Amino acid sequence: MFDYENYEIECERIRASNNELLEMFKNDLELAGLSEKTIRSHISNVDFYINEYLLREDVHPMEDGVGMVDSFLGYFFIRKCMWSTPSTIKSTAASIKKFYKCMLDHGNIQKAEFDYLRSEIKENMENWQADCAMYNDSDEENPFDWF
């Protein structure tokens, strides 16, 4: 447990490391021939995940994000991000998956971690999108009422 000052110091250290990883990711996307607009979108999605969500309550480095994608896309993103739609859930998941594939390719995570992330996304995508659609529709029952 950190006091606030040490929490902020540790977050800044992780953000600096994350920014290097984002630059590596950007370079890989450029080498793959993606458009500048697509690259910006992927970078923005991943930056929000690793530099905002993973650091919002505790100090979680990029590696911890492998196991936190369900809580992010299945709860936080739907309830706290006013731009969440079933489509943005899918595009954000695609960005996160591409980022962690890059991390695997560069030896920053293990294959088993990447496989776990992929299976979480594949197994939960329909539910996340359905919950998001229900949450955004004022005529539907709120799928998060039990919280």
> Residues 27-75: pLDDT tens digits?
999 999 999 999 999 999 999 999 999 999 899 999 999 999 999 999 9
Q: Is residue 147 part of a domain?
A: no
**For range 102-116, the mean pLDDT:** 98
What one-character-per-residue DSSP string does 10-75 give?
A: HHHHHHHHHHHHHHHHHHHHHHTT--HHHHHHHHHHHHIIIIIGGGSSS---GGGGGGTHHHIIII
Q: Is residue 61 part of a domain?
A: yes
Could you list the residue range(s) of the whole structural domain that residue 62 is in? 4-136
Angstrom distance (rounded) from CA 46 to CA 43 = 5
Q: Could you tell me the pLDDT band of residue 1, with boundaries at 50, 70 and 90? A: low
Q: Is residue 124 part of a domain?
A: yes
pLDDT reported for residue 138: 86
pLDDT at residue 146 greater than cutoff 80: no
Percent of the chain at pLDDT exceeding 70: 97
Tally of domains within the chain:
1
Q: Is residue 28 part of a domain?
A: yes
Q: Are 28 and 105 in contact (CB under 8 A)?
A: yes
Non-local (6+) Cβ contacts of 93 within 8 A are 69, 73, 121, 125, 128
Q: Is residue 37 part of a domain?
A: yes
Q: Is residue 31 part of a domain?
A: yes
Q: Are 129 and 84 in contact (CB under 8 A)?
A: no
Q: 10: exposed, middle or buried (C-beta count within 10 Å: 0-12, 13-18, 19+)?
A: middle
pLDDT reported for residue 144: 85
